[in-house]
Amino acid sequence: MNYRGILAIYKFEMGRTLRTVGQSIASPVISTVLYFIVFGSAIGSRMQAIDGVPYGAFIVPGLVMLTVLGQSVSNASFGIYFPRFTGTIYEILSAPLSFIEIVLGYVGAAATKSVIIGTIVLATAGFFVPLHITHPLWMVFFLVMTCITFSMLGFIIGIWADGFEKLQLIPLLVITPLTFLGGSFYSINMLPPFWHQVSLANPVVYLVSGFRWSFFEKGDVSLETSVIMLLTFNALALAIIGWIFKTGYRLRK
């Protein structure tokens, strides 16, 4: 393993984040506050508890997921797209690094940043509603694995994209709708049977459900299902990345 190479990429990416640390943190914090003002206080006060959980607290896990999914995808996709765009990728490609090592560097950094931001969002939420996390270890597991999986997805998008428009298209057209429809702000059990079935095809449902379970011991699907689905997505993303490096898709001409 070229550990120093992995560390070099990781530190480079973290350094890039640190240069814009203000905006990296400000925007998720501001949107969390806004969500709480609108959903938590204004609307939430008139909503009945879901599965015995007050609405303000109910949306916390969903909100954290909403943020980290978006952050993971955009950080990781930008992280690998940018050197492709400027041409500095030549150095990564000519270095003695395996694809696993390159992925560890880029995805590791993007996931780290997302975990940090997710934690900040969680802390911000703590100002609005009392936080109670029943299974902290499961909470960390879901948070970290989700950040890793979606950073891998972001990495794939960053390699696939051949322009800045495409880089923003997927998050806008796919990730945002999936997270909003994935039960971030409601339980999919509240949906009519047909839409409930449709929702089960949405991968985000399993992430939000598992994550929420770690807080309240209540989820839309069972814990086992959430874990299996999460690991499946992770393996799928890894397989696609493996294929990318094997074929040189969009990387090696």
Partner 1 sequence: MISDHTNAIAIAGLNKTYETGFHALDNINLEIKRGEIFALLGPNGAGKTTLINAVCGIVRPTSGTITVAGYDIITQYRQARSTLGLVPQELTTDAFESVWNTVTFSRGLFGKPRSPAYVEDVLKRMSLWDKKDEQIRRLSGGMKRRVMIAKALSHEPEILFLDEPSAGVDVELRKSMWAQVRSLSETGVTIILTTHYIEEAQEMANRVGVINKGKLILTEDKNTLLRKMGKRHMVFALRDPVSVIPMELSAYPLTLEDDGSKLVLAYNDQDDNDISEVLDHLKSSGIRPRDIYSRQSSLEDIFIQLVEA
Helix (H) or strand (E) holding 245: helix 223-247
What distance in Å separates the CA atoms of residue 72 and residue 183, rounded to the nearest whole number? 19
Closest distance of CB 88 from partner 1, Å = 5
Helix (H/G/I), strand (E/B), else coil: 53: strand
- By beta-carbon proximity to partner 1, the closer residue of 9 and 145 is 9
Scanning 87-126, the segments in alpha helix (DSSP H) are 89-94, 99-125
Residues 219-248: x where in contact with partner 1 by CB under 8 A, - otherwise, as a string: -----------------------------x
* Cβ 66 vs Cβ 184: under 8 Å: yes
Q: Give 182's contacts (C-beta < 8 A, 6+ positions apart).
A: 62, 65, 199, 202, 203, 204, 205, 207, 208
87 binds partner 1 (CB under 8 A): yes
Member of 27, 45, 88, 134 binding partner 1 (CB under 8 A): 88
Q: Which stretch binds partner 1 (CB under 8 A): 53-61, 85-93, 114-122, 165-173?
A: 85-93
11 near partner 1, rule: CB under 8 A:
yes
Taking the least distance from each CB to partner 1, the nearer of 46 and 253 is 253
Residues 14-43 that bind partner 1 (CB under 8 A): 15-16, 19
136-160 helix and 203-216 helix, angle to the nearest 10 degrees: 160
Which residues contact partner 1 (rule: CB under 8 A)? 2-5, 7-9, 11-12, 15-16, 19, 86-88, 90-98, 248, 252-253
